[in-house]
Chains A and B, each alone.
Chain A
Amino acid sequence: MSVGRHVAGAARRRVQGLWRRTGVRLAAVQMLVVLTAFGTADLMARAEIRSANEATLRHEITGEMASLQDEITRLGASRLPGTVDRRTRLWRGFDYGLDGPDGERLAGRLSPPRGRSGWSQVNQPMASGQVRTFLVLSQRTPQGGWLFVGKDLAGERRAMLLVTWRLLAAGACGAAVCLAGWVLFFRSAWRRLEGMSDAARLVAEGRLNVRAPAPNRRTGDDIDGLSAAFNAMLERIGGLIDQLRRVTTDVAHDLRTPLTRMRQRLEALERARDLNPPHRRAVRAVHGDLMELLRTFDALLQLAEIESRRLADEGIAFDLAEIGLRVAQAFQPDLEASGRRLEVTAESATVVGDPALLTQMLANLVENGLRHTPTGSVVRLGVEARDGCARLTVSDDGPGVPAHMREAVLTPYFRLDQSRGSPGSGLGLSIVAAIAARHEARLSLADNAPGLVVTVSFPEPRLQSSPEAPVVAETGRPKAA
């Protein structure tokens, strides 16, 4: 039953989740200590009670035996079977057995193995069919027969069991007190820690206005201190990012205004009729340089934007395969015209995020495959769904990237060939990495033997509202745009 397995799996995950909490572990250790203490006390008490009981029993049995031996001495052996029968009938809590010199049974029902005088424990089958354990004292009669006096141990066992149960009950009460203590104390601590980790996660996702639950003035414990410090840190980070964003916006505006004028003047110059050819070429070259500058500027701005933006709320669900096919169709003719091949395998895979950004990510990866491979190479683009998670791979059979450089190629402005002459701003893969990070996807570069394979593994598409609302506070600051 897949449903049953699913439920069991969910329960197991829940238990594993609980076990990861420090409070739960502490409570479990405490409970273990309490139970161990009571268990040890139980064992010791039992040993103590047992030895005390046995001494009493032996004392009683010895007394009974002495009284019987005394009767033999006083009245003679011939009266003994009658006495034993009478005493059995009257029931003084003892059981007896009397054998003659030739081993014949004269009276009583106890029949321990003969031939050894002294104490023994005997398992005696009863008439009812059950077996009872007796503590038995065996002694020879003056006639050469055997006399046995014993006492049933069932009563003593019951008493011992009672002691055990009482101690267990006390132990359980102790464990319950531990549990209650944990619920009272740790739950609030654990809630607050949970709130902090939720806040940290959401801030990492770009929701800069989220804060951990405010410190409680009444408790004012170490967790409150941590919470306050944590929030102060978030405040500072938020402030820095705001500042960065404002500076980026201002720089963008202040740079684009003169650049716009520059471009307009260049266009006007290019349209002028009385320009001699060398001048016209120079103007065109300056225009080309300006365009290159703008490209880099745009890529930088975009990188800053992607890194500071939150996608969690604006993401929509869509099929990654559709984007894969669209990008592949867009680049296919170009790759073919350059003597390369593009192979596509796309299966439907749902992703939540920004389709425009993911389109750009795919385009950057395919362009990368086009630019950094020799003629005749094959670029492969694959979209697949594994356990409900989308996975994108773009691979080629070109020269690849050495293992120790794979981290570095994702950083801005890094270039493998180190020559600034080749086209590209050196930001393409950084933008890919930023887009992947914004989608909480894992980006990895590996050896395609030969060539490079870039894999982007997306997380399971999450629903918009998570079932457990995070315990966080949103400040009144405007949302990160």
Chain B
Amino acid sequence: MDRVITAAAGAASPGPPLHLLVVEDEVEAARHMASSLAAEGYRVDVVGDGLEALSAASAQTFDVMIVDRLLPGLDGLSLLRALRTRGVGTPTLFLTALGTVADRVAGLEGGADDYLVKPFAFDELHARVKALSRRTADPRQGATRLQCGDLVMDRLAREVRRGDRAVELLPLEYRLLEVLLLNAGQPVTRMMLLEQVWGFHFDPRTNIVETHISRMRAKLENAGGPPLIRTRRGAGYVIGPEAASATA
């Protein structure tokens, strides 16, 4: 397996670095992904063939797999199906050059957990990999109470409080805040918000995310206090203090 690149964990952070498997036959794209992810502190294995990927993913456990749809040996969809039938439930991000609705549906039905169309921004990939890596282990997913500093969201009563102050949110703003809180400490990209909050699988040309965030901010933030929701240029929005990037 001469094409396997194991990138050393870069950023010093507590806990073992997350182990990723990148399955991509385009050598340069794979190398770029691997080095960028390694720079963020991940341990990255790269495989350029579907059959090799099948044996690699069956032999050891990865935290997240990034799988290209078109692969030599075994295509991405068949690889995923084969892995899922073998009981390998590793969260998988599907990469595709097609980007059509049918393609997305096929990917998600084939067992992918998320889906990204090429070419993508690295920040988009990173944010999604992070979200996927936490999806299985994160106790927050089913929690009835989400908290960030003095902001508390009661998911049973659908109430939001900031300290002693009750915050009235519209249903969409509530959902927006919920998605941010579920990913507290990690940036959530504009595209992820469009998909998860509005159900838009296309890119509107208007600034709907920005406008909604700024409206919600006006309701949430305390005058003079430090900002709760921060904008990270190109990467999206983060609520709460930002966590170290690539550790479990």
Contact = CB atoms under 8 A, between A and B. Distances in A.
Interface of A: 249, 252-253, 256-257, 259-264, 267-268, 294-295, 298, 301-302, 305, 309, 326, 329-331, 333-334, 337, 354-357, 359-360, 363, 367, 370-371, 423-424, 481
A264 B119 CA distance: 8
24 contacts: A257-B118, A260-B118, A260-B120, A261-B119, A262-B119, A264-B29, A264-B33, A298-B203, A301-B98, A301-B99, A302-B99, A302-B202, A329-B170, A329-B171, A333-B208, A333-B211, A333-B212, A354-B101, A356-B101, A359-B199, A359-B200, A363-B200, A367-B206, A481-B102
Nearest to B31: A264
A357 B97 contact: no
A249 B98 contact: yes
A301 B100 CA distance: 7
A263 B121 contact: yes
A260 B101 CA distance: 20
A364 to B, nearest CB: 9
Q: Which interface residue of B29, B100, B121 has the most chain A CB atoms within 10 A? A: B100
B202 A363 contact: yes
B205 interface: yes
Nearest to B211: A333
Contacts of B98: 249, 252-253, 301
B247 to A, nearest CB: 22
Contacts of A423: 205
A263 B106 CA distance: 26
B155 interface: no
A30 B36 CA distance: 83
Interface residues of B, number: 37
B158 interface: no
B208 A261 contact: no
Contacts of A252: 97-99
Contacts of B3: none
Interface string B171-197: 110000000000000000000000000
Nearest to B216: A333
A367 B97 contact: no
Interface in B27-42: 28-29, 32-33, 36
Interface in B114-138: 117-122
B97 A253 contact: yes
Contacts of A294: 119
Nearest to A268: B32
A259 B205 contact: no
Nearest to B203: A295
Nearest to B122: A267
Given A267-B121, A267-B122, A356-B199, A305 B101 contact: yes
A249 B106 CA distance: 15
B67 interface: no
Nearest to B39: A271
A221 B172 CA distance: 64
A468 B99 CA distance: 37
A152 B33 CA distance: 116
B143 to A, nearest CB: 26
A282 to B, nearest CB: 17
Given A260-B119, A295-B203, A333-B208, 9 more contacts: A253-B97, A260-B26, A260-B120, A263-B119, A305-B100, A330-B200, A337-B211, A356-B199, A360-B202
A259 B29 CA distance: 10
B20 interface: no
Given A261-B29, A267-B122, A370-B206, A329 B201 contact: no
